[in-house]
Structure 1
Amino acid sequence: MTVKKIGGWRQTSATEVYDNPWIRVTHEDVITPAGTAGIYGVVHFKNLAVGVVPVDEEGFTWLVRQSRYTLDAYTWEIPEGGAPVNEDPRAAAERELAEETGLRATHWEELLRLHTSNSVTDECAVVYVARGLSQGVTCHEDTEDIEIRRLPLTEAIAMAMTGEITDALSVAALFKLGLAWKE
């Protein structure tokens, strides 16, 4: 039996139980850090999550309200999407911003990198701040039912503070940008 060490954990077996174009799920038999036998289900993402907080010269940003199938609800969030792991994250972020809002930007700055839900998935995310904005035409995907809203960045941050925005990537990005904005 091959044993793979993962921090204080030991993986004794891993079996793929599901696969589609976006994710792969494995069932893993493990020995916990306490030495007991257990199981772990891991969702492996085939794409990198990318997000953008566009900010114009007046201090306004854009949010996207879209239907999220898994939640059976509409959510407000920053423009975001997925990119193949071998694609440049900024190029993917530029594409997502243009597709969802029609915006193009001349100045890009990486804001943060994070793991979206590290207890069950290996998904990684990169978020950028985009400035020097100009308006173009949106090009929504077939799976997107989108409403776009331009609002003061401070109002978007307040929406995250009150729980009106619950998307983890959006909340983290808005909070970090809000802290930097005050400095």
Structure 2
Amino acid sequence: MPTPELPRADETNPWVRLSGSIKYRNRWMTLREDQVLRPDGQRGIYGVVEAAAATGVVALTPEQEVVLVGQYRYSTGRYSWEIVEGGAEPGETPLAAVQRELLEEAGLEAARWTPIPGEFQMSNCFTAELGYLFVAQDLRQVAQPTPEGTEQLTLARIPLRDALALIDRGVISDAVSVIGLLRAARMLAAGELQAGDARSE
């Protein structure tokens, strides 16, 4: 299939950063405020949240079931069903981070890891944080889940098709999970993912 074309656009940066200062910092994020010249030439400010890479994994069984994690999200005040997710620690690669999260949250390891192509912009109006997604297959239960003290998790395995239906109904609304599940389904349909468990072949 040919790659669709978009209209030509001037992709040069119309913003001018004059200066910046750190307004807040903790273990997980930094809030920076920049003095800028806006695209219209007027002076202004722009707040940017800096954070380590976000990661997520669609853990897929040979029966095409996916592992979901349910938890209450403090920032939104809502319960959320999601794929396994987490942020990278300093110096940690996205793959190493998501492998650690899969073990901590679900007690699982995987023999086969496939990156979902692309760097995903988490919320590009106020953060430079990028997300990295993977599909994990040939899963093996190696331990009991050991979530962090900030996490009270419920684990579920449901057919991928049911997860897609929950996206359509708005039950799964976490952006990383929506992207990961939809992309994984397309990759599976296109033959880009192993259909079964390699250990059974």
What's the TM-score once normalised by structure 2's chain length? 0.84
Q: Deviations over 1:123-163 (max 9, x none)?
A: 11111100001113211111101000100011112212221
1:88 Cα offset (Å): 2.0
1:42 is aligned to 2:48: yes
Identity of aligned residues (%): 38
Query: Which residue does the alignment assign to 1:89?
Result: 94
Query: Which residue does the alignment assign to 1:3?
Result: none
SS of the residue corresponding to residue 71 of structure 1 reads coil
RMSD value, Cα: 1.4
Structure 1 residues not aligned, in runs of 5+: 1-5
Query: Which residue does the alignment assign to 2:198?
Result: none
Q: Deviations over 1:55-101 (max 9, x none)?
A: 01111011000111101111011000111242122111111011111
Structure 1 consecutive aligned stretches of length 4 or more whose deviation exceeds 6 Å:
none
1:177 Cα offset (Å): 1.3
Match of 1:135 among 121, 131, 141: 141
1:69-148 matched pairs, under 5 angstroms? 69-112=74-117, 113-136=119-142, 137-148=144-155
Match of 1:27 among 29, 33, 43: 33
Question: How many pairs are equivalent?
Answer: 177
1:17 is aligned to 2:17: no
Structure 2 residues not aligned, in runs of 5+: 1-11, 191-201
Counterpart of 1:20, as a letter, is: N
Q: Deviations over 1:32-57 (max 9, x none)?
A: 11212221111111x21111100011
1:153 is aligned to 2:160: yes
1:180 Cα offset (Å): 2.1
Counterpart of 1:84, as a letter, is: E
CA separation in 2, counterparts of 1:66 and 1:181?
27
